Structure 1
Amino acid sequence: MTDRRDDAPPTTKKHGNAADATASLIDGKGSSVVGRSVTINRPASELFAYFRDFTNLPHFMENIVSITVTDPKVSHWVVKAPAGATMEWDARITQEEPDRLIAWTSQPGADIANSGRIEFRDAGARGTVVTATIAYDPPGGTIGKLIAKMFQREPAIQARRDLRRFKQLMETGEVATPAMNPKQYEEMGL
């Protein structure tokens, strides 16, 4: 007898398909689906609270230019796109369960139609498994997706990097970077 339970993100399950990922999204938008998970050695309540304050997200999501919260359920996002361009949209929270999940969808008129959810699941002594599932319509279709991938701006690449930086920030208090910090410049006399 085979155990068919699988706690992987819906887009990477051995026994499932990409449609499973968007089925759980209220007002799901997007034809391309990305799912990534990371285990962070912090309680779900702490991770949820940090993530839920959307003004914190630019601290670890490198493509975000700004997020402006316009009301408790709506925020305006500006993100970097290839070739120095930016994309903008308003996102509305469609589902929220404290310490467990946040789901959203873009409002009409978005530069990139998107929806998704971030889930926080207790992992016992290991902390919390954080899973991000994002559905989006790449601007320019397949060609646009390829260009975004070349410029490292494609959501599948960014989701993995952003979750890794979120883990670093929450576990150590900082995001590791190859850039020199002001103290290092000072020590070198620069």
Structure 2
Amino acid sequence: MTNNSSGEQGKGMDQGRMVSGVAGGALVLLGLRQRGVLGLGMAAVGGYLAYRAATGNDPVMAAAGLSGNTAAAKPIFVEHSVVVDRSPQQVYDYWRKLENLPMIMSHLESVTVLDDRRSRWVAKAPLGTHVEWEAEIVNDKPGERIGWHSLPGATVDNAGSVQFENLPSGGTRVHVALSYRPPAGALGAAVARLFGEEPSQQIAEDLQKFKQTFEGANPAN
């Protein structure tokens, strides 16, 4: 029984290295055809994948003091705030309608409500791929806060909260905090940053766009 499990594990590792080698070679070729920083970046990532496939070693993980196990990678934490010239209840009502979230967060493709607490999320991932998971609202205070986390078995283990603070001078401070593990661990985070999807910058840009759009729109929409 143990020997069969070991054999299956070894076969899985061999298949993973083969896929990594093919992907690495393709990226190297694409990178060499490109010009500028993007081409160099693609070639570098491709070379890294090809090296890892050929040797079975992971120099990035080793340099970071991590094993090849993606579970060893620490979650990425992102937070940002923006002041919106609307009441907390108006802003909360818009966020609480979860189907609106892809219009706020550019990395989301869709959010489908399953019931009062559960929803299915589909998000963009590096290199034109996407991931999906189910999430559950665990903290819901109308006009004040929304908190959620992904359900067990999610491709992207994540949690987040949005707080709506009523300001004495008027308006609402919207504070977003997100924590997640990239699908490919530390390598996934590195590739995302390489292709201009650095999460802290992305959420800052998303919130600024939300502020401009929401302040200029009819809050009832």
Task: Give the TM-score normalised by the residue count of structure 1.
Answer: 0.72
Query: 1:30-41 alignment to 2 at 5 Å?
Result: 31-41=75-85
Q: SS of the residue aligned with 2:178?
A: strand
Work out the CA distance in 2 between the residues paired with 1:167 and 1:120.
13
- Answer whether contact 1:39 1:126 (CA < 8 A) is retained: no
Q: Deviation string for 1:147-178 (max 9, x for gaps)?
A: 1112233432321121111111111129xxxx
Question: Does 2:212 correspond to 1:157?
Answer: no
- Answer whether contact 1:77 1:89 (CA < 8 A) is retained: yes
Matching residue of 2:121: 77
Task: Report which of the two has the higher share of helix.
Answer: 2
Counterpart amino acid of 2:212?
Q
Q: Where do 4+ consecutive residues of structure 1 move more than 6 Å? A: none
- Answer whether contact 1:55 1:68 (CA < 8 A) is retained: yes
Task: Give the TM-score normalised by the residue count of structure 2.
Answer: 0.62
Work out the CA distance in 2 between the residues paired with 1:35 and 1:125.
23
Q: SS of the residue aligned with 1:121?
A: strand
Work out the CA distance in 2 between the residues paired with 1:81 and 1:157.
16
Work out the CA distance in 1 between the residues paired with 2:162 and 2:105.
14
Matching residue of 2:108: 64
Q: CA-atom RMSD, angstroms?
A: 1.6
Q: SS of the residue aligned with 1:108?
A: coil
Work out the CA distance in 2 between the residues paired with 1:152 and 1:64.
16
Work out the CA distance in 2 between the residues paired with 1:66 and 1:152.
21
Matching residue of 1:18: none
Question: Does 2:139 correspond to 1:95?
Answer: yes
Matching residue of 2:4: none
Question: Does 2:182 correspond to 1:138?
Answer: yes
Question: Does 2:93 correspond to 1:49?
Answer: yes
Work out the CA distance in 2 between the residues paired with 1:145 and 1:74.
27
- Answer whether contact 1:40 1:126 (CA < 8 A) is retained: no
Give how far 1:80 is off.
0.7
Counterpart amino acid of 1:66?
S
Give how far 1:121 is off.
0.2
Give how far 1:79 is off.
0.8
Stretches of structure 2 lacking an aligned partner (at least 5 in a row): 1-73
Work out the CA distance in 2 between the residues paired with 1:149 and 1:95.
31
Stretches of structure 1 lacking an aligned partner (at least 5 in a row): 1-29, 175-190
Q: SS of the residue aligned with 1:83?
A: helix
Question: Does 2:157 correspond to 1:113?
Answer: yes
Give how far 1:92 is off.
0.2
Give how far 1:125 is off.
2.7
Question: Does 2:216 correspond to 1:172?
Answer: yes
Q: SS of the residue aligned with 1:125?
A: coil
- Answer whether contact 1:61 1:165 (CA < 8 A) is retained: no
Q: SS of the residue aligned with 1:51?
A: helix
Higher relative contact order (CA 8 A, sep 6+): 1
Counterpart amino acid of 2:141?
E
